[in-house]
Chains A and B, each alone.
Chain A
Amino acid sequence: MEKARSRFPTNRLGLIASFYPWVIDVRGNPERIAFTLHRITGIMLVGFIALHIVSTNTPARAGWEAWVEEVQRLSGINPVSILFFIAMGALIFHSLNGIRLLLVELLAMGIGRPEKPKPPYIPPSLKGYQRTLIYIVLALSIIIWALMGYVMFLM
């Protein structure tokens, strides 16, 4: 017997949306881009944090000589320092976007006030400054990441 299907399509794209977020239209939807970047950088950072915690355990595990060797891997441009730099980029974006989310979600800033819908209806969230915050986050992330690159590689 054929399994009964719901007449409503599923809105849970789950795995597909997580790995291939562009299944959801992002045109004119910077919130979605910020969400996707927040998720991708979050996953990257969990891996980085696990490695960072194990790596900083080196002095306790193997002594200071091993630690000095490990730190030397971060000098100059090499695969380890480049991966570290990418992780720092993820950290900067995730942190700044996280602050934006705290302002918007926790403190309800920049999303306007509820109002009676009258045509032509423009959602209050689009009249607030929450979208401007996304662009500020993206611009600040690039600036701070560039400064971090200067400190890491050019100083």
Chain B
Amino acid sequence: MGFNGLRNVPHVRWLGVKAGTIALVQYVTAVLMIFLVAWHLAVRIPWLQGVEDFPATMGPEIVYDEVKAFWPLLLLLSIAVIIHGVNGLRGILLEWVGFNERLKLVVNVLSILVVIVLLLVAVHTLIAIPELG
């Protein structure tokens, strides 16, 4: 069976998604993260924020302004990081469980649940940020 024969093997598809599509998602999120993580780290550089040290870059005023001004970028970063991270761990776990179909299902379902929970927490962080007193 050549490489194209993989198309007919059931275990390379899950919920109708091809393994290749999931690999592509991993690459796309990786490319997105190169820019978003670089930005996320750059705003923690003290002299760019005009503060004296690293913890001061996470002061309430700076964080509040950042969330209010850049929430779409932070949301995109959260989505990319969570999907990339959980999907990467899922790939490692799938290697470990081998051909055990039941464990594979457990890994896949748990991965989706973890993504949903972390995304909900991230969205809550962005929409429920309190006003500065």
Contact = CB atoms under 8 A, between A and B. Distances in A.
Contact of B92 (A43, A71, A91, A95): A43
B55 A102 contact: no
B71 to A, nearest CB: 12
Interface string A67-107: 11001101100000000000000010001001101100010
A151 B55 contact: no
B70 to A, nearest CB: 14
A102 B130 contact: no
B110 to A, nearest CB: 13
A71 B46 contact: no
Contacts of B65: none
Contacts of A67: 60, 63
A152 B54 CA distance: 6
Interface stretch (B4-12, B13-21, B120-128): B120-128
A72 B37 CA distance: 23
Contacts of B86: 46
B114 to A, nearest CB: 8
24 contacts: A18-B95, A42-B85, A42-B89, A42-B92, A46-B88, A50-B118, A53-B121, A56-B125, A57-B125, A59-B60, A59-B63, A59-B125, A59-B130, A60-B124, A60-B125, A60-B127, A60-B129, A61-B128, A71-B58, A95-B33, A98-B33, A102-B31, A151-B44, A155-B46
Interface of B: 27, 30-31, 33-34, 37, 44-46, 52-55, 58-60, 63, 78, 81-82, 85-86, 88-89, 92, 95-96, 98, 114, 118, 121-122, 124-125, 127-130, 132-133
Given A12-B98, A61-B128, A68-B60, 12 more contacts: A14-B96, A43-B89, A46-B85, A53-B78, A59-B63, A60-B124, A64-B60, A68-B59, A101-B30, A106-B27, A151-B54, A152-B54
Interface of A: 12, 14-15, 18, 39, 42-43, 45-46, 49-50, 53-54, 56-57, 59-61, 63-64, 67-68, 71-72, 74-75, 91, 95, 98-99, 101-102, 106, 151-152, 155
